[in-house]
Structure formats: C-alpha cells, structure tokens
Amino acid sequence: MTLTASNLRKTYGQTRAVDGVSVVLRPGIVHAIVGENGAGKSTTLRMLAGAERPDSGEMTLDDARYAPPSVIGAAALGVSLVYQEITINRSLSVAENIFIDRLRQFTGRLGLIDRRRMEGAAQTILERIGAQISVSAETGRLNLGELKCIEIARALSTDPKILLLDESTAYLDHREVQAVLRVISELKGQGMTVAFVSHHLDEVIAVADELTILKDGQFVGTYRTAEIEPHEIHRRMVGRELAKSIYPPRPAKDPGKAARGSVVLEVSDVAVGRELSNVSLDVCGGEILGLAGLKGAGAEALFAAICGDLPMRQGSMTLAGEPYAPSTPTFAWRQGVAHLPGDRNNEGLIAEFSVLDNLVMAHPPHHGPLFDRAAAIAIARDLIAQVGIKTQGVDASCRSLSGGNLQKVVIGKCLAVGPRLLLLNNPTRGVDVGARAEIYRIIRQKAAQGVAVILSSEDMSELIGMSDRLLVLRQGYVTHRIENAADVTEHDIIGHMA
Ligand SMILES: Nc1ncnc2c1ncn2[C@@H]1O[C@H](COP(=O)(O)OP(=O)(O)OP(=O)(O)O)[C@@H](O)[C@H]1O
C-alpha cells in the first residue's frame, strides 16, 4: 500500500508543529523521518495514523482519499502506529495488552476468553521480534524495553500493511534493537510499507531506503539513504556542520596529580531484591563510571538502592566517606544525589505541571518559608538556555513539549540541585544528535567541577564515548571491569553482557 501525504499542517495554539510536510510511503520501502527535537516528526506520524487530524493538507491511501477518524479507523485500513511514549495498561497481562482492541477474536461461545490461544498468538509475535517475555507476565513488573516490545507486537498483531514506528528503538537494549531492525528488514522483504523515526543515524543508515528531513515543522527534503552522506543529513537537520565526534575529549591526565579524585560513593557487597547481587564499586569526584548490560542486568536496581527507591538486602554504602543508607528518594536528593530515571514520564516529571515547576521541583528555592518564584524563574530560564529546551516559556505545560524536550527538562531538574553524585539512566534517550552533543558537554563539565557521575546506557557508543571506567553487569553481577574505557570496543563489551 502507498500512503501519500501532501502539504500537511498542524498548529497547537501558537506552535506550528507541522507546516507544509509532504511524504510518500511506498510498499517494500523503509522510510525514515529525521529531525531535531520538536521538528514535527511525531506530529506527522500521528496524522498519518489517525491520532491527530491535520488542519490542512491531503492524504491518500493507494490513490483513495484517506482521512482516518481515529487510530482504530486507520488500523482497520491497514495503518498501524507504535507511539513514542509507552501506552501499556499495566493492570493487564502481556497477551491482553497485545490484543487489547481485539480480545473478542479469542472469545468462545460462552463469552470466555480462550487464554491459551491468545497467549500462543502473542508468543508467536514476540518471538518474531526477538523479545524474551513471558506472555502471562504481569506488565506492572516489566521494564521499559519489554513494554516497548509489547507495543511493537501489538502493532504487528493487526497484520498491518503500513507500520509507523515512532522512536521505538529508544527503549530497547542492544540485542532488542538488532532484533527490531531485523524485523523491519523482514517486513520490507514481505512488501510492507514501513516508516520510522529515530535519532540514531546508524539505525537509519542500516535499514532505511529513503529518508525525509524535517526542520522546525517544515519539510527539508526526501533523499535516498545511499545517496546522502551522514554529515550532510546532520547539516540539513541542524542547520550547521556537526563536529566529527559528539563526545567531548576526556580530560588530559595531570602526571603530578593522583590518578583519581576522592571517592564520592562507595558501594560494598550490595544486593537488591533478586535483581542485584554482591556488587561492589566506587566512583570519584570528576569521574564518569559507565554501566553496561542488557535489560534487567542490575543497573536499575543499583540506581534504585542509591537513590533510596529500593532497600538493600545486603551490603553497605558510603557517601563522601559517611555511612549512607537512603530511606527515601527525597533523602537522597537532599544529600546531593540526583537521579535521572529511565522512565521520564512516570518517574522523571509531572506532565501536568509547568516546565518551571518540574525544573525546580527537587530543590525549590525559597525566601524564608515561602516559595521564591522570582528565583525559580531565573533558575528555570538559565536551565532552559543551558540544556536547550524548546518551550513556549517557563509556564508552558510539559504536556505541550516534544519527547526529546521532556528529556531535557528531567536533565535540567537534576542539574538544578547542584548534585555531587549524578545517576544517569539513558540520559539522551530521544534527544537529537545536536542536543546530545550539548548534553555530553554539560555532563563532562559537571565532572570537571568535581561531580561523580554514574552513567547507565543502552547506547554503546555513548557509554564508550563518555565513560572513564566501565563495569559490565550480567544477571545482577559485575562480570567485567574496564579500567580505561577509551581503549574498548563495542564488541569487547557485548561479549561480557550476554
Ligand atoms: N499537544 C501539543 N500541544 C502543544 N504543542 C505541541 C503538542 N504536541 C506537539 N507540540 C509541539 O509541536 C512541535 C512538534 O512536536 P513533535 O512532538 O511533533 O516533535 P518531534 O520532532 O517528534 O520531537 P522529538 O524528537 O523531541 O520527539 C513541538 O514544538 C511541540 O512542543
């Protein structure tokens, strides 16, 4: 099926989210849509999938007028969307979520759902995308990557002719990304029409035949991937040439100084639930310690213990040499331990609140007992400029921000507390390449100012580019320690992860 969109426009209040975008999605062709945060990519996909109505513009599906009234209406015509944000109902099982709109197809004569048949069908789709998830699992216990796999499975379950994926790989670990890219190539081989949004150009180059670049809501152009150089894609997306490496240089070693600063956090023989066992590590001021591992390998449990979200089952910690056993996240924040969680929507911020409220929430400035709004505005403006948040203003609701800009708000919130320890879980998830370089610069700068940083990431090149030392976690244990991350390759790390 061919989906053609011409001159689409969509405005939200003062914001022209999409302004004159045209795109043609053809069978057997994988089409990437790329652009900076807030460029209009999600809005474009949402219009193609019936989740938003364009203010103007035309769409056709195989030459027939196409104006889907809803996502369900679009799915009935063969167009299926995987949203950027997680939409799983956590009170339902994996299989129920996959078939949420079509449970009736598994209902027998007595009105009972044939669970075995439904779970078998769910299992087949999950295996197809390489996801190792039990179909009867409670979704409340699953991690973000697993939830994303369920959403992709749900989109595939309607047997679509056109599949639209909005940053679906952002939540996946290395193994899952490879599996999803394989599925995309496979679907292409079967003649399916696929469009996807990604901030990772290596993924675009690996699977996309064509790409459309958007900038500030406007159409820049459509190109054949084989005929455009990566630096040219960047230049047209960002409007300037990007530096060769987006990672700032590691600080030069001063031979007169000790190899490492003083220890900020020491973790000794710590165990957390079933997810983490006998882990010992330390991180010094000025240092970035990277944590590599597949989903559920233990990094999230370790962060949860350090930020007071989960109790330790065993072991002890010290912070700046003092015994440290945080009982709540608030206690940890007050000790200068800032945590950027993997799930920005449920743990990182309150979407209904303004950008300002979210930025200063962890450490509100006050004047005596009263909230100091003037100081809060000054802090928020400074952070908006520092991290490059695209917003209508400090009082705009976070609901009006694009995904990457929401991520930048959570980063700003961490910086606002003046941390001595920064726990970063996939800090640049959904952030465009230009802004990523800026965030890396800020992280390096904080380290240079003496902050200790622990970076957990599913992006291997980010881990290698940013870390000074690296630990590899597997099934809750540290399986490998790399003293000099500058000397390591992705291949070396992956070998210790699986
Ligand atoms: N519901 C909304 N209300 C107000 N503004 C919105 C809404 N949805 C999107 N916008 C604005 O429209 C613009 C485009 O947003 P969109 O989500 O399409 O960008 P994007 O290219 O997908 O960005 P990202 O890479 O960060 O996900 C942004 O400026 C965003 O703030």
pLDDT tens for each residue of 283-295: 999 999 999 998 7
The answer to whether residue 258 sits within a structural domain is no
Pair 290, 341 in one domain = yes
In a domain? residue 188 = yes
Q: What is the pLDDT of residues 18-31, one digit of tens each?
A: 999 999 999 999 99
Which residue out of 43, 166, 238, 399 has the highest number of ligand 1 atoms within 8 Å of its CB and is therefore the one to mutate? 43
pLDDT tens for each residue of 457-472: 988 999 999 999 999 9
Average of per-residue pLDDT values in the chain: 90
Residues 134 and 275 in one domain: no
Q: Do 64 and 185 share a structural domain?
A: yes
Residues 470 and 333 in one domain: yes
Confidence of residue 490 (pLDDT cuts 50, 70, 90): confident
Considering the domain architecture, whether residues 215 and 288 belong to the same structural domain is answered as no
**pLDDT at residue 349 above 70?**
yes
To the question of pTM greater than 0.90 for the whole model, the response is no
- C-alpha to C-alpha distances, 15 to 18, 39, 239, 478, nearest whole angstrom: 9, 11, 20, 47
Q: How far apart are the C-alpha atoms of 205 and 374, rounded to whole Å?
A: 47
Q: Which of 204, 238, 272 is the last residue of a domain?
A: 238
pLDDT at 351 over 60: yes
In a domain, 251, yes or no: no
- Atom 29 of ligand 1: nearest residue by CA position: 38
Confidence of residue 251 (pLDDT cuts 50, 70, 90): confident
Predicted confidence at residue 100, as pLDDT, reads: 87
* C-alpha of residue 391 to centroid of ligand 1, in Å: 10
ipTM over 0.90: yes
Query: Do 227 and 353 belong together in one domain?
Result: no
pLDDT tens for each residue of 409-434:
999 999 988 899 999 999 998 888 88
pLDDT digits (tens, 9 = 90+) for 97-114: 999 888 888 887 778 888
Question: What does the pLDDT look like over 388-405, one tens digit per residue?
Answer: 898 999 999 999 888 889
In a domain, 484, yes or no: yes
The reported pLDDT for the residue numbered 256 is 58
Q: How far does the centroid of ligand 1 lie from the alpha carbon of residue 22, in Å?
A: 17
Q: What is the pLDDT of residue 254?
A: 63
pLDDT band at 373 (very low <50, low <70, confident <90, very high): very high
Ligand 1 atom 10: the closest Cα is on which residue?
400
Atom of ligand 1 nearest to the CA of 39: 21
> Can you give the pLDDT at residue 258?
58
The predicted structure's pLDDT at residue 310: 94
Within a domain: residue 155?
yes
Atom of ligand 1 nearest to the CA of 405: 26
Provide the domain count of the chain.
2
Is 252 inside any structural domain?
no
pLDDT in tens, 134-184: 888 888 878 777 888 899 899 999 889 999 999 988 878 887 788 788 888
Centre of ligand 1 from the C-alpha of residue 241, in Å: 24
Range of the domain at 93: 3-238
- pLDDT tens-digit readout, 29-64: 999 999 999 999 999 999 999 999 999 999 999 989
pLDDT at 443 over 90: yes
139 plus 284 within the same structural domain = no
Report if residue 453 sits inside a domain. Answer: yes
% of the chain with per-residue pLDDT over 90: 60
Of 238, 255, 275, the one marking the end of a domain is 238
pLDDT at 498 over 90: no
Give the pLDDT band of residue 479 (cuts 50, 70, 90): very high
Judgement on whether residues 274 and 225 belong to the same structural domain of the protein? no
| pLDDT tens figures, 193-237 | 999 999 999 899 999 999 999 999 999 999 999 999 988 998 999
Confidence of residue 379 (pLDDT cuts 50, 70, 90): very high
Q: Residue 146: which CATH number?
A: 3.40.50.300
pLDDT at 105: 83
Q: What is the Cα gyration radius of the chain?
A: 23
pLDDT at 255 over 60: no
Instruction: Indicate if 330 and 206 belong to the same structural domain.
Output: no
If asked whether residues 87 and 129 sit together in one domain, one would say: yes
Is there a domain that residue 254 lies in? no
Average confidence (pLDDT) over 74-96: 91
Of ligand 1's listed atoms, the one at least distance from the Cα of 45 is 18
Which residue among 15, 213, 428 has the greatest number of ligand 1 atoms within 8 angstroms of its CB, and so is best to mutate?
15
Within 6 A (CB) of ligand 1 lie 12, 15, 17, 35, 37-43, 84, 390, 400-405, 430, 432
SS3 for 25-60 is ECCCCEEEEECCCCCCHHHHHHHHCCCCCCCEEEEE
Does 44 share its domain with 183? yes
For ligand 1, pick from 9, 12, 196 the residue to mutate: most ligand atoms within 8 Å of CB.
12
Same domain assignment for residues 137 and 40: yes
